[in-house]
Amino acid sequence: MSNIPAELKYVDSHEWLRLEADGSVTVGITAHAQELLGDIVFVELPKAGAKLAKDEQAGVVESVKAASDVYCPIAGEVLAVNEELEGEPELANSDPYGDGWFFKIKPANAADLDGLMDAAAYAKEIGA
């Protein structure tokens, strides 16, 4: 479980969420997701300012193996996207919980984070 950071929240579609000090939430894909996908070659992200519903498609990740949708784990407004991924999509492989983040969102309801999986529950979900 060492590659599942304890301070994050998780959803079964393999996105992680980190609550930031300013109340925003950073979202990315988990190490497990990027391992399943293989080498990531393209990332399509939502537009800043977009209002997304919970579980709405927020983007696409393409790898040498497959394409996979990225979902918005909570409702809210996209504040920023990780533009570095456009030129370096492999950051999602090499640093999924750091430089490989996907977007930041202002939650419509911060309490939505409370119902998400913690690291132990996610580890059980993926059989880690």
pLDDT in tens, 72-89: 999 999 999 999 999 999
Q: Please, are residues 54 and 108 in contact by the beta-carbon 8 Å criterion? A: no
CA–CA dist 40, 92 (Å, integer): 7
> 96-115 burial string, b = 16+ CB within 10 Å, else e?
bbeebbbbbbebeeeebeee
pTM: 0.95
Give the chain's domains with CATH numbers.
Answer: 9-119 (2.40.50.100)
pLDDT tens for each residue of 22-67: 999 999 999 999 999 999 999 999 999 999 999 999 999 999 999 9
On whether the CB atoms of residues 46 and 103 are closer than 8 A, the answer is: yes
What residues pair up with 103 in beta bridges, in sequence order?
Answer: 27, 81
pLDDT(128) > 90: no
Alpha carbon distance 93, 99 (integer Å): 10
